[in-house]
Amino acid sequence: MSDADTIRRILLAVTETSPVETLWQSLLDAVENSRAEVVTVFVRDEHWRRAASLPFTREISRLSGLQAEFTHRRARQVSLATAVRVQQRLEHLASKTRLKLEFEVVSEQEGAELARRERHILLVR
């Protein structure tokens, strides 16, 4: 098997505030013209869960201005919706390339463990 036939596996970790397009371009620059499988890990920020645990936290509707209790259930909904939006952006970017994309959602603790465990990580700032 030649180098051109080798499929590289690349880990791309993102959060809800990551500049996804910029990170994707850095990934493309690193891959160049080789074939690659991209495993994208969305590191779920626990701030929504922490906010829901505070007794005074309220959610205020942008349309009506009505307030509602910000519950753990609502925190999970917001976190999931954010992950879905990021996944859709990445799938759109991947559709323009020959790269195969996999997507996983992990907690902050799992993301930190993954970073400690992996031997070959490209850090992009």
Q: How far apart are CA 78 and CA 48, in angstroms?
A: 8
Average pLDDT over residues 39-54: 88
pLDDT of residue 80: 92
Secondary element (H or E) of residue 115: helix 108-117
- Who contacts 72 (Cβ-Cβ below 8 Å, separation ≥6)? 49, 52, 53
Domain count, the chain: 1
The domain that holds 44 is classified in CATH as 3.40.50
The pLDDT assigned to 125 comes to 46
Do the domain assignments include residue 82?
yes
Please check whether residue 104 is in contact with residue 40, taking contact to mean a CB–CB distance below 8 angstroms: yes
Half-sphere exposure of 97 (CA within 13 A, CB side): 21
**What is the C-alpha separation between 40 and 53, in angstroms, rounded?**
29
Does 37 have pLDDT greater than 90?
A: no
CB-based contact 83:106 (threshold 8 Å) = no
pLDDT in tens, 5-34: 676 778 888 888 889 999 999 888 888 777
- Residue 103 maps to a domain: yes
For residue 44, tell me if it sits in a domain: yes
Q: Are 41 and 12 in contact (CB under 8 A)?
A: yes
With respect to residue 122, please indicate whether it lies within any of the assigned structural domains. Answer: no
pLDDT for 4 equals 58
Q: Is residue 87 situated within a structural domain?
A: yes
Residue 95 falls inside a structural domain: yes
Confidence of residue 48 (pLDDT cuts 50, 70, 90): confident
Whole-model pTM: value is 0.76
Residue 68 lies in a domain: yes
* Residue 95: domain span: 7-117
- pLDDT digits 0-9 by tens, 53-99: 998 889 898 899 999 999 999 999 999 999 999 999 999 998 988 77
Tell me if 1 is assigned to some domain. Answer: no
